[in-house]
Amino acid sequence: MSEVSTRIIGKAGRITLTRPKALNALSYQMCLDIEAALDAWRDDDTVEIVVIDAEGDKAFCAGGDIQAMYEHGLKGDYDYGRTFWRDEYRMNAKIAEYPKPIVALMQGFVMGGGVGVGGHAGIRVVCETSQVAMPETGIGLAPDVGGTYLLSRAPGKLGEYLGATSLRMNAGDAIHAGFADHYIEREYWLDLVSELEETGNAGLVATMAATPPESPLARAQTEIDNLFDGTPADIAAKCDAGDSEIARASAKAIRRASPLSVCCTLANITRARNAESVRQVLAYEFEFTYRAMEHGDFLEGVRAQIIDKDRNPTWRHASIEEVPEEDIARMRAPLGDEALSI
């Protein structure tokens, strides 16, 4: 049974993620199915707009389905994960560069791979249940699926904060940080979709938007900018020493995450600020994910958080302060013939 429903209704191409029991986690086949629909509709004049949504109340998409990657990687087969990421990133780029309006309706959990599907759409809608995050450092990855592009363009040092800590944003935060555009309460989504199907008019979304909830991150912007300015060791030390709620939560999150992943995340965000496109940032991200199983903490992170659930990973480095610059450089070095090509 397909885990993605793709169809044309009226003037709209419709893509619906249909794995609500799995929080609509993206499987490899789902990435290919989304890409195939976008390719089919690109030059189809009957499709004037694309709408991406998901079944269920709990999640638009809680991330990539990484258990298969783990199982292959445990056996020394790193190519399965590399192929998954390579093809997923190509799909992310197509969403970001699509010539027709794409509206993404993102309820509940919108994390990791879910940001890759919804976060690059031209028109991104959140609601009262939306919780958005890039939680990769907690499983030994670094933000990917083009998420680093969004993080690098968040106000001040919010990108560093969100990328290093994996902490969640509410709807107001997501709009403030540039991960979403409009707030529309969930009860109005069916009416919105019906009108988009009938008219193909993407401008309708803005007319239905309401004032979003207050953003706690906007209120804490100055403090976050101060805490997350500096080297990874500087940031960790300032968070450790802080006595505010933001500092304490940040210190706890950073110290639990993979030290190598945190350091590489912060370096990638800095580099992404000078990138011209999502496509370019995806190539940077692939340098890390290509090596994440063999040389990084990904397999141990997935084991601790998802497989054994002991929440007690043994990372390659004991702390952020103990990650050598050469280890960071190795994870982010050019891939030569293996570089991502979209």
172 noted as active-site residue: no
35 noted as active-site residue: no
Phi/psi at 66 (5° precision)? -95, 0
Annotated catalytic residue: which of 13, 81, 113, 146? 113
Q: In whole angstroms, give the CA distance from residue 293 to residue 298.
A: 5
Annotated catalytic residue: which of 136, 173, 181, 197? 136
136 noted as active-site residue: yes
Annotated catalytic residue: which of 65, 144, 173, 327? 144
Compute the C-alpha angle 313/318/320, nearest 5°: 110
Both tokens of 211, joined, read 């004032």
Beta bridge partners of 72: none
Contact 23, 36 (CB under 8 A): no
Annotated catalytic residue: which of 35, 48, 53, 64? 64
Beta bridge partners of 102: 50
How far, rounded to the nearest angstrom, does the alpha carbon of residue 48 sit from its chain's CA centroid? 26
How far, rounded to the nearest angstrom, does the alpha carbon of residue 329 sit from its chain's CA centroid? 23
Both tokens of 244, joined, read 């505010």
Q: How many CA atoms lie within 13 A of 227 on its CB side?
A: 27
13 noted as active-site residue: no
Q: For the chain, what is the largest distance between any 2 Cα atoms, rounded to a whole number of angstroms?
A: 59
**If 0-12 CB within 10 Å is exposed, 13-18 middle and 19+ buried, where does residue 100 land?**
middle
Instruction: List, by residue number, the catalytic residues.
Output: 64, 113, 136, 144
